[in-house]
Amino acid sequence: MDKDQMQDFIAKRVAKELCEGSVVNLGIGLPTRVANFVPQGMTVHFQSENGFVGLGPTPAPEDADPNIVNAGGQPVTILPGGCFFDSATSFGIIRGGHVDLTVLGALQVDEAGNIANYMIPGKLVPGMGGAMDLLSGAKKVIVAMEHTAKGAAKILKQCNLPLTAVSAVDLIITEMGVIEVKSDGLHLIEINPEYTIEQVQEATEATLNIDNVSEMKG
């Protein structure tokens, strides 16, 4: 798979975690692709922290409206019934526990469910955005990311970048597999048949518990 195919594969698998009628926030980058793969007939209310509920699939370039963008500045569509509101209301939804699921990217995740996803020391960043609020306020947290960064492990025994949140992650979905975060560590529950369990563990610094692994399908 090339990078684009890989990200779509991950997003399709994340979409299988969506539930009818749920309020879902998608982080910038790869997670935004999840909106393109909502199961047919399912209603999901996508929320963006810059102030709306009712995000639809990514528009074709010729149909993009520069005035309608998500929190990452990417053009989006608004479904019938969608609505716009101010930042205070948007973060009231998040901090009030009304988001059922958030899907975020990450620089690092560790076996305790800690996540670092906004800052690399020495590099200029505008801030963590709504990530801290989402990780604390959402009922379920999924990290959707590529398994490694230029061959370096991103799923670690312990994060060494500044943390965005502690013990917040419930599920990690990469191109190699699906990993559940439990009180006793990380459990590999699905594997992409293109890889072996040995290859997944080799690409993962943290120790993976291997039990009842099923086939991952995007």
Task: Reply yes or no on whether 49 is catalytic.
Answer: yes
Whether 50 and 70 have beta carbons less than 8 Å apart is answered as yes
Distance CA(145)–CA(142), nearest Å, equals 10
49, 111, 175, 190: which is the annotated catalytic residue? Answer: 49
The structure tokens listed for 26 are 């998608």
Give CA–CA dist 76/25, Å, rounded: 13
Query: Cα torsion at 115, 118, 119, 123 (round to 10°)?
Result: 150
Q: Containing H/E element for 190? A: strand 185-191
Which residues are designated catalytic? 49
